[in-house]
Structure 1
Amino acid sequence: MQDITLSAAVRQNLLTLQSTADLMSGVQNKLATGLKVNSALDNPNSFFTASGLNSRANDLSTLLDDMGQSLQTIKAADKGIQTITDLVETAKAKANQALQTQSQYERKKFTEQYNDLLEQIEDVAKDSSYKGKNLLAGDGNDLTTIFNEDSTSKLTIEAVDYTDTALSTGLNLSALAEGQGSTTSFTLQGGKTTITLTDGTTTLNSASSLSESNVISTTTTLEFVDAIDSPNAIISGSDTVTAGATVQDLVDSLNSISGVRAEFDDTSGELTIYSDQDFHISDTVDTHSAALSTFEVAATALASTGALLSDTGSFAVGDTLTLTDGNGFELGSLEIEDDTTVDDLENFIDDFNGVEATFNASSGRLDITSDVDLSLTSDNSDFASDAFTANTTGVTLSALSDSGFATDSDISRVVDRLNTALSNLRSQASEFGTNLSTVEIRQDYTKTMINTLQEGAGLLTLADTNEEGANLLALQTRQQLASTSLSFASQADQTVLSLF
């Protein structure tokens, strides 16, 4: 190449074309990459400054993703609190419903529903997690959100524990006792005897068809003995019937004995005596052993569901039996009629929720099972009397344990706790809402900061495509002109050939 000699004009044009080509290559690279600074060789100061800005923008972009995940975690907890609040309000409604009724059975059912709601609250709290983080599950679930690249700006959200409603640091809502029922029983027994007084008179010592008429005289004193056999003791508190007494005196004396009832029919002259225990009338004051056999009543257990209740000393036609619970709430009543049977009594008790009656024909025992406290009473003081002692309280059953809604004061305490829990939930929801807003605000700020950093880096490194396009067009024109000039220079050298 050194042996080839170019004219000054050709050489100048070649240099111009080479320079133009280099410039065009640079402009084309800028247009292709969009950058006017592609490496440190282009502009060290701008390149390294832009790299620093872009690095920070990338770091913030990573934190921005973390902020987005933190937002979702907070939203999951917030949705959980909203649902738990609804469930607590429902539980409060159940407590208020229980307060509107005095029925212990209904209150027991409301207690069970209340406990079911507490279980749902715990389940919702456990289900309010996002990517393994649960702000409603207590220890180990605190959420920390970092806002800047050196971790000096951050927000820590402390988790609360609603997975156990009984925790004092949480909702402080303990499950209530649902109550446990119990069983009681009483024996349906009795007997009767009917004596016909045929003389039509009203005095006991007048002539009659009684086999004992010879011993019912003007000197006879009748006493009431509590057993046909030993011990033949005079019934405590009973009144003797002295000589010259009337039939009505005898009836009145018999009716004054608990568990004994006497009825006298003036028309037929029939005196009917009913008793819950073995019973007879004696005319011997000292030994009480000379029983008047006509005045004997042998009491036995009622042996069938079809047995009439009025055939005992405990029941009389017109009696009203009342079934009430421990709160005095009346479940219902049954009026005894002349055809009311054991089966009628059993069905009456069975009609009510939470109460079951079973009659044992072999023993005459009526077993009663109830979920709540129960009382079966009668307006007849002889009802369920025992050993000639009145039972003024009737047949009572005390449940092994009462429900948590058994009394008004119990319910009021629960309502107070529910109100406190609602207040705490609303406060916690407000706190989570504030944290959510904080993260959202920082998220928006970070987006703006990333845009600012990237824009600043772009100002240092991005090419102006309009300017570079114009430069390319100018260089193309220059290249064409240089090519034309080179052609002219070459033609000047070729004129020498014309000499040959």
Structure 2
Amino acid sequence: MSDITLSAAVRQNLLTLQTTADFMSGVQNKLATGKKVNSALDNPNSFFTASGLNARASDLGTLLDDMGQSVQTIKAADKGITTITELVKSAKAKANQALQTQSQYERKQFAAQYNDLLSQIEAVAKDSSYKGKNLLAGAGNDLTTIFNEDSTSKLTMEAVDFTETSLSNGLNLSDLVEGQGGATAFNLTGSKTTITLTGTDGALNSSSKLAEASAIASLSTSLEFVDRSESTPSAQLIGGAPTVNGGQTVQELVNTLNDLNGVRAEFDDKTGELTIYSNEDMLISEVGVGGLSTPVTIGTAASVNASHFNTTSAKLVDSASFAVGDTLSLTDGNNYELGSLEVDADTTVDDLVNFVNDFQGVDASFNNSTGRLSILSETDLTLGSNRGGGTNTDFNATDFGANNTGVVLSALEDSSFATDNDINRVVDRLNNALSTLRFQASEFGTNLSTIQHRQDYTTAMINTLQEGAGELTLADTNMEGANLLALQTRQQLASTSLSFASQADQTVLSLF
């Protein structure tokens, strides 16, 4: 190539075309990349300054992503607190519902529902995690959010522990005692005998003197009620002995009998029939006559052979414990009456069992072979009996020496909602728990707001850094487009000029 000789004009035009091509290549690169500085060779100062700005923007972008994840973690915890707050309000509603009733059984059910809500609160707290971080799960879950490149600006949020509601530094809500029921049983015993009291003028009436009764052996007779199981009858003298020659009337005898434990007497003025009911085997005998074989002086039927009820169809009124018009009632430990049953002449053991079984949380059964009525109850329970507006002292009187106005069943453990005071204490704790939740929600809200503000700031800072880097490196495409058009024009002109120069060199060929 060095042996080839070009004219000065041709060589000058070639050089111009080469320079123009280099310029065009540079302009085309700027248009293609959008940058006027693509390497340190283009402009070292601008290149390295822009690189530093972009590096910081990149670091802040990474921190911005972390801030976004922190926001999501706080939002997950906030959703958990919102749900827990509603569950605590539901638990408070259960406590208030329990206050609206005096039924221990209903209160026990409310206590069980309350405990179910506490279990749900713990479950929600455990489920409020985001990417393994749970601000409601206590130790090890604190959240730190970094705001700048050297970690000198950051925010740390301490986790709270709501996964165990009983924690004193958490919600301080303990499970309630739901209560444990109890059992009791008593025997249904009794029988009756009927004695016809007649005198010389026929049947006696309630105002007749006992001395007028033909069955009375002697005007000096004194009577006693004797328990057959005792070997010393006189020791079983109850309420004093009615003395016949003292002028005692039939009604006074009836009253004396009715004053005895487990004994009931009725007298029919029309027929002169004295009916005696007793819960124990007994007989009427003369005072001071030893031995149980002493003849009865008030009629051969003056002996009551009481035994246990052996069938559910047995009539309750066949026992001294029950009389027509008695009102049996079931009440719990709060004196809340579950219901009542009025005894009539046809009321049976089965009716009593069904009455008790009508109520939730109570179960009764009767054993025919032992005459034993068993009652199971989830709460404290009293089966009582009233007679004529007063207390029936013969109810469940097992012998001549014991009166019982009711059968009392004590639960092994009462519910934590058993009394109003118990419930009010729970309501106070629930109010404190709501205050704790609201404070924690407010704290999370403040932290969330802080991070969101820092997000906005970081986003603006990244834009500022990238904009500054762009001002140093980005090309003006409009200007570069104009430059490319001018260079294309220059290239065309240089090509034309080269053509003219070549034509001048070709003139010599015309001589040949």
Match of 1:385, SS?
Answer: coil
1:281-314 deviations in whole A, cap 9, x for unaligned? 1213263743515321121001110111111111
1:243 shift after superposition = 2.2
> C-alpha distance in 2, partners of 1:271/1:243?
16
Asked if 1:442 is matched to 2:454, the reply is: yes
1:400 has 2:403 as partner: no
Deviation at 1:236, TM superposition (A): 5.8
Q: CA deviation at 1:169?
A: 1.0
Partner of 1:278: 281
Tell me which amino acid in the other structure corresponds to 1:363.
Answer: T
Q: Distance in 2 between matches of 1:69 and 1:207?
A: 105
TM-score, normalised to structure 2, is 0.94
Tell me what 1:222 maps to.
223
Inter-partner Cα distance in structure 2 for 1:14 and 1:392: 134
Q: 255, 260, 272: which is aligned to 1:269?
A: 272
The equivalent residue for 1:386 is 398
Between the aligned partners of 1:99 and 1:284, the Cα distance in structure 2 is 59
Asked if 2 retains the 8 angstrom alpha-carbon contact of 1:234 and 1:288, the reply is no
Question: When the two structures are aligned, how many residues end up with a matched partner?
Answer: 495
Structure 1 residues 427 and 229: CA distance shift in structure 2, 3 A: closer
Is the 8 Å Cα contact of residues 85 and 422 (structure 1) preserved in structure 2? yes
Aligned-residue offset at 1:495: 2.1
Structure 2 SS opposite 1:101: coil
> Shift of residue 228 of structure 1?
5.8
Deviation, structure 1 residue 435: 1.2
- Partners of 1:207 and 1:138 lie apart in 2 by 91
CA distance in 1, matches of 2:234, 2:73: 85
Distance 2:238 2:12 in 1: 153
Taking structure 1 as reference, are residues 66 and 228 closer, same or farther at Cα in structure 2, changes over 3 Å only?
closer
1:1-80 pair list within 5 angstroms: 1-80=1-80
Shift in Å, 1:248: 1.5
Match of 1:204 among 210, 215, 226: 210
- 8 A Cα contact 2:125 2:163, kept in partner: yes
Aligned twin of 1:254? 257
Distance 1:445 1:319 in 2: 85
The letter of the residue matching 1:167 is L
Deviations, residues 402-456 of structure 1 (Å, cap 9, x unaligned): 0110000000000000000000001101111111111111112111111111111
Are 1:152 and 2:158 matched, yes or no? no
Rounded Cα–Cα distance in structure 2 between residues aligned with 1:334 and 1:164? 47
Q: Aligned to 1:318, what secondary structure does the other structure show?
A: coil
Q: Secondary structure at the match of 1:294?
A: coil
* Mapping 1:332-481, distance limit 5 Å: 332-379=339-386, 380-481=392-493
Distance across 1 between alignment mates of 2:80 and 2:295: 83
Give the SS at the match of 2:450: helix
In structure 2, what is the Cα distance between the partners aligned to 1:113 and 1:155? 40
Inter-partner Cα distance in structure 2 for 1:233 and 1:479: 151
- The residue identity in structure 1 corresponding to 2:313 is G
- Comparing 144-153 with 352-361, greater Cα deviation is found at 144-153
Q: Secondary structure at the match of 1:137?
A: coil
Moved more, 478-487 or 169-178: 478-487
Q: Give the distance between the partners of 1:179 and 1:66, measured in 2 at CA.
A: 50
Unaligned runs of 5+ in 1: none
Closer, same or farther: CA 288–221 of 1 in aligned 2, 3 Å: farther
Q: Hey, what does 2:85 align to over in structure 1?
A: 85
Measure the CA separation in 2 of the matches of 1:476 and 1:231: 146
Whole-angstrom CA distance in 2 between matches of 1:205 and 1:239: 18
Give the secondary-structure state (helix, strand or coil) at the position aligned to 1:240. Answer: coil
Supply the RMSD in Å over aligned alpha carbons.
Answer: 1.4
Give the C-alpha shift of residue 392 in structure 1.
Answer: 4.5
Residues 291 and 73 of structure 1: CA distance in aligned 2, closer, same or farther (over 3 Å): farther
Would you say the 8 A contact 1:23–1:475 is kept in 2? yes
Q: What secondary structure is seen at the aligned counterpart in 2 of 1:422?
A: helix
Aligned to 1:316: 323
On the 8 A contact 2:234/2:288 being kept in 1, the answer is: no
- Cα distance, 1:100–1:342 mapped onto 2, change above 3 Å: same
Aligned-residue offset at 1:275: 0.5
Percent of pairs with identical residues: 72
Would you say 1:110 and 2:110 are equivalent positions?
yes
Distance 1:195 1:455, change over 3 A: same
What amino acid does structure 2 have at the position aligned with 1:253? T
Deviates more, 1:3-12 or 1:345-354: 3-12
CA contact (8 A) 1:225 1:288 kept: no
- Quick one: which amino acid aligns to residue 327 of structure 1? N
Q: Does 1:235 pair with 2:236?
A: yes
Give the unaligned 5+ runs of structure 2.
387-391
Which of 111-120 and 477-486 deviates more? 477-486
- How many Å apart are 1:35 and its aligned residue? 0.8
Aligned equivalents of 1:393, 1:220: Cα separation in 2: 34
TM-score (norm 1): 0.96
Partner amino acid, structure 2, of 1:239? G
Deviation at 1:4, TM superposition (A): 2.1
Given residue 218 of structure 1, which amino acid in structure 2 is its aligned partner? L
Partner Cα distance (2:456, 2:162) in 1:
31
User: How far apart in 1 are the matches of 2:219 and 2:123?
Assistant: 87
